[in-house]
Amino acid sequence: MMAAMKLGQIAELVNGELRGDPQLPISGAAPISRVGNSQLTWLTDPAYREQVQKSPAAAVLVRRELADLTKPMIICTDVEMALSRLLNAWAPPLPHPPVGIDSRAVIGTQVELGEDVAIGPNVVIQNGASIGARTIIHAGCFIGEQSVIGDDGLLWPNVVIRERTQIGQRVIIHPNAVIGADGFGYLMQNGEFKKIPHIGRVRIEDDVEIGAGSCIDRAKCDETVIGRGTKIDNLVQIGHNVHVGPHCCLIAQVGIAGSTELGHHVMLAGKVGLKDNIRIGNGVQVAACSCVSANVNDGEIMLGVPAQSKSSYFRERATINRYSRLWDQVRELMNRVEQLEAANHSKTC
């Protein structure tokens, strides 16, 4: 349960401008539709101004241009960042295994463990692996041979890190993610699939976060790479030899086929699919459920199946929306032609 704070304390915490009683107690935060009379909410969209005003909220985090409410408020330059700071202050401590090695863990030979590592029950760390300082490994994780995990990492339960994987510093991996499984590669011979060996590795750079149930396949040769600062949601599939640039955002159920390359700051919305062996330029955004089958230039916004640029997509949609009217005109012209032909036929008889 959140500990109550005074409104003045919250304003100081988020570096905002207070309008209201600094002693007003605030018991927590909630969205507009669920906020209580002792809680704080937030306003970033003018469309919700009236709803916030009529809500029972005790106070509001608000942008300056929307600060015409009669409620107590804290005016913020960046409301979302202010809310993030507040939630972080209210967040209960996360449950982690204590520093040390649980007696039920299995540690191989020539394993290097940094200072203050915390290794939970039923963790398996195979021969020659290296775990950085202050890294936390929850119950049931598997770390394969010669894998390296940097400092201040966090692996939630049942994460699988296959052999020779390289993971940077401050990487967070959520439950049941699999890093370094074989890529999906087969050859058809005599009516049967023959497996192609995948002898490369996965390399994950610093400050990456990987969601629950996501899979990143090892390379056929060389590396599958996830660039620094990239954030990967739950249930994302990244194929062999894919290179994801720095600070990308891959949202739930994205699928990236083998050997595709993403530039920096690419954003793929939910259920986006990328074909193999294509390049997605820097700063590209792809709308949900789109399927990209060709290279995309820097800065493009893509949507549709197959995906096309935003301008092309809406131009095509506008044309489609005119089809019914065009059909009515064609049908009218056809009727007039039939009438003219009938009149001409009667004159010649």
What local confidence, expressed as pLDDT, does residue 190 receive? 95
Domain's final residue, options 40, 67, 90: 90
Catalytic (active-site) positions: 240
**164 and 250 housed in the same domain:** yes
User: Does 181 map to a domain?
Assistant: yes
Residue 182 and residue 283 in one domain:
yes
Pair (72, 178) in one structural domain: no
Residues 170 and 85 in one domain: no
- Whether 124 is in a domain gets the answer no
74 and 194, same domain (yes or no): no
pLDDT the model gives residue 332: 83
Q: 287 and 166 share a domain?
A: yes
196 and 284 co-located in one domain: yes
DSSP 134: T
Report the pLDDT value the prediction gives residue 313, as an integer from 0 to 100.
76
Question: Which pLDDT does position 333 carry in this prediction?
Answer: 86
Give the integer Cα–Cα distance in Å for 122 and 125: 10
pLDDT per residue, tens digit, the chain (349 aa), is 567 899 999 999 999 999 999 999 999 999 999 999 999 999 999 999 999 999 999 999 999 999 999 999 999 999 999 999 999 999 999 999 999 999 999 999 999 999 999 999 999 999 999 999 999 999 999 999 999 999 999 999 999 999 999 999 999 999 999 999 999 999 999 999 999 999 999 999 999 999 999 999 999 999 999 999 999 999 999 999 999 999 999 999 999 999 999 999 999 999 999 999 999 999 999 999 999 999 999 999 999 999 998 778 777 777 777 777 777 788 888 888 888 887 777 766 6
CA dihedral 186, 188, 189, 190 (to 10 degrees): 140
Cβ pair 74, 17 in contact under 8 A: yes
For residue 348, the model assigns a pLDDT of: 66
Indicate the residue among 90, 123, 138 that finishes a domain.
Answer: 90
CATH of the domain at 60: 3.40.1390.10
Q: CATH number for the domain including 188?
A: 2.160.10.10
> Of the residues 68, 90, 112, which one is the last residue of a structural domain?
90
pLDDT of residue 326: 78
Is 323 inside any structural domain?
Answer: no
**Beta-carbon contacts of residue 48 (< 8 Å; ≥ 6 apart):** 32
| Full residue range of the structural domain in which residue 209 is found | 159-306
Tokens coding 318: 């506008």
Of 92, 93, 94, 96, residue with least CA distance to 139: 96
Secondary structure (DSSP) of 140-190: T-EE-TT-EE-TT-EE-TT-EE-TT-EE-TT-EE-TT-EEEEPP--EEEET
Number of domains in the chain: 2
Same domain, 273 and 172: yes
142 within a domain of the structure (yes/no): no
pTM: 0.88
- Between strands 39-43 and 178-181, the pairing is unpaired
Point out which residues pair with 193 in neighbouring strands: 188
Same domain (yes/no): 77, 172: no
Asked if the structure places residue 341 within a domain, the reply is no
The dihedral of CA 315, 320, 321, 322: what is its sign? positive
Note whether 71 and 163 are same-domain residues: no
Residues 163, 81 within the same domain: no
